[in-house]
Amino acid sequence: MPTSLDTYFDQFRREFALPDGVIYLDGNSLGALPRLSSVRVADAVRREWGNDLIRSWNSADWINAPERVGNKIAKLIGANDGEVVACDSTSINLFKALLSALALIPHDSPRNVIVSDIDNFPTDLYIAQGLRELLRDRKLELRFVKRTEIPANISAQTAIVMLTEVDYRTGERYDMKAITALAHDNGALIIWDLAHSAGAFPVALNACDADFAVGCGYKYLNGGPGAPAFIFGATRHLDALDAMNAPAPISGWFAHAAPFAFDPVFRVVRGAKRFLVGTPPILQLASLEASLDLWLNVDLQRIREQSLALTDLFIAEVETHCGDALTLATPREHKLRGSQVSFRHVEGYAIMQNLIARGVIGDFRAPDILRFGFTPLYVTREDVVNAAKHLADILATREWDQPKYQQKHAVT
């Protein structure tokens, strides 16, 4: 029996071009294709590029796409106009966010520790490791610890706390407000990675007093493969960076106050555009923007309600039909849950190949995690029930002894 939420989301599911015979539970890795994105990308290619050519920098307002798209993302993550730009990759944006946070900390400050979760998505940890090497004179110390040890490791030595709100393997969610307050109480800045948050549930960056944030355009935001990422700076910090005339983190011409004056001397632009570097990827921005235009019609509270309903249902169905063959890795408590459900099984890899061969697309994360993302815009209760049935079938017959699909890589 469909709930009123199911009915509400029917209108959105129709807006996605999903293949027949597929139950897609991997929107946390690569969001599905909004029908409008096909249309908009084709228009950007044929009309804007092919026909209008160079004139589209003005006539199609290509020039302002990073800010325009950023402002649309801002509405989904509790940020203000002018605090977010869409550009580059999440990794590069984290590099810029770290440099921007460091610019706010005096060079001779005794605060030199960057605290993060050892189970954070690795690229976040890698970027910090690279920066430590690059900025030798800052003598940065990295303290990567288990989730439970994060609070005890935030201290007067902490320069920056850097966390991904939702764990990419387990789907466990941090309390953004509490951890941000703890960082601030200790005089530290915090950078949130919203890779598995933006579009997964309402994010409230400013209500939580977050300092900087980055996130991904191609997961829940459905921006397409390799979509531009985003970066957020709280207005108070953007103003402070402006006031101290801090250089742009990577000082390309799109971060210049007057890029078309072609002045040989770099002079940083005010506001979030300081995060820009080079010429924006117009076709990918067109794709992302089409999806955001759909997103702006979505009630984010209902996304959260339906996400919890779907993840609860999946846990219940799997536990009912699969017995204790699988171990739940995702918290049962709602406030600790993102929009995915993960189960552990020693044969997880092979089981997932068989699920994919049956058209139930989730993914596998070493060593033993079966990961399922629930995206209310295009995943229904029926999908959830059927996915659990397929999983139970595979487990009952040990179908994984004959794996049917070879997944070599999977990009989160």
Backbone angles phi, psi at 14, to 5 degrees: -65, -20
- The encoded tokens of residue 270 equal 């005010």
Task: Note if 193 is an active site residue.
Answer: yes
CB 227 within 8 A of CB 288: yes
How many residues touch a second copy under the rule CB under 8 A: the total is 100
The residue from 111, 219, 273, 274 that is catalytic is 219
Q: Is 376 an interacting residue with respect to a second copy (CB under 8 A)? A: no
Q: Nearest distance from residue 279's CB to a second copy, in Å?
A: 5
Work out whether 144 is an interface residue with a second copy (CB under 8 A): yes
Cα 56 to its chain centre, rounded Å, is 29
3-state secondary structure of 360: strand
**Annotated catalytic residue: which of 16, 212, 218, 254?**
218
Residue closer to a second copy by CB (options 33, 154) is 33
Q: Nearest approach, Cβ of 223 to a second copy (angstroms)?
A: 10
Catalytic residue, chosen from 26, 117, 193, 211, is 193
- Residue among 121 and 295 whose Cβ is closer to a second copy: 121
Answer for which of 261, 297, 333, 401 binds a second copy (CB under 8 A) is: 261
Contacts of 47 (CB under 8 A, 6+ apart): none
Task: Give the residue with the Cβ less far from a second copy, 97 or 208.
Answer: 97
- Using the rule CB under 8 A, give the single segment among 133-141, 157-165, 300-308, 312-320 that binds a second copy: 133-141
Q: Does 164 sit near a second copy (CB under 8 A)? A: no
Of 242-250, 296-304, 338-346, 381-389, the window that binds a second copy (rule: CB under 8 A) is 242-250
Where are the strands (E) in 224-284, listed by range? 229-233
Q: Residue 224 corresponds to which amino acid?
A: G
Tell me what percent of the chain is helix, strand and coil, each rounded to the nearest 5.
45, 15, 40
Smallest distance, a second copy to C-beta of residue 333, A: 25
Q: Which is nearer to a second copy, 5 or 94 (CB)?
A: 94
What Å distances lie between residue 79 and 190, 203, 207, 281, 288, CA to CA? 15, 9, 9, 23, 18
Quick check: bond before 367 cis, omega within 30?
yes
Task: Please list every residue from 106 through 125 that binds a second copy, using CB under 8 A.
Answer: 118-123, 125
- SS3 track for 62-130: HHHHHHHHHHHHHHHCCCCCCCEEEECCHHHHHHHHHHHHHHCCCCCCCCCEEEEECCCCHHHHHHHHH
Which tokens hold the place of 239? 């103003």
Q: Catalytic site residue 358? A: no
Active-site annotation holder among 371, 374, 378, 381: 371
Instruction: Report the chain's terminal Cα–Cα distance, integer Å.
Output: 33
- Would strands 141-145 and 340-344 be described as parallel, antiparallel, or unpaired? unpaired
Distance CA 213, CA 121 (A): 15
Distance from chain centroid for Cα 328: 23
Is 121 annotated as catalytic? yes
CA distance 70 to 238: 15
Residue closer to a second copy by CB (options 208, 213) is: 213
Binding-site member from 264, 324, 333, 335 for a second copy (CB under 8 A): 264
Least distance to a second copy, CB of residue 208, Å:
25
Helix (H/G/I), strand (E/B), else coil: 256: strand
Shortest spacing between CB 215 and a second copy, in angstroms? 12
Side chain identity, residue 184: H
- Stretch 267-306: interaction string toward a second copy, x if CB under 8 A: ----------xxxxxxxxx-x-------------------
Residue 404 annotated as catalytic = no
Residues 25-44, mask of contacts with a second copy (x by CB under 8 A): -x--xx-xx---xx--xx-x
**Is the backbone of residue 267 left (phi > 0), alpha (psi -120 to 50) or beta?**
beta
Q: Under rule CB under 8 A, which residues in 80-99 are in contact with a second copy?
A: 88-92, 95, 99
CB of 78 to a second copy, least distance (A): 24
Which of 304, 374, 383, 334 has the alpha carbon at shortest distance from 5? 304
**Per-residue x/- marks for a second copy, 48-67, CB under 8 A?**
xxxxxxxxxxx---xx----
User: Restricting to residues 316-375, which ones interact with a second copy according to CB under 8 A?
Assistant: 356, 361, 363, 365-366
Q: Tell how far CA 83 is from the center of its chain.
A: 17
Residue (52 or 319) nearer to a second copy, CB: 52
Which residues are marked as active site? 121, 193, 218-219, 371
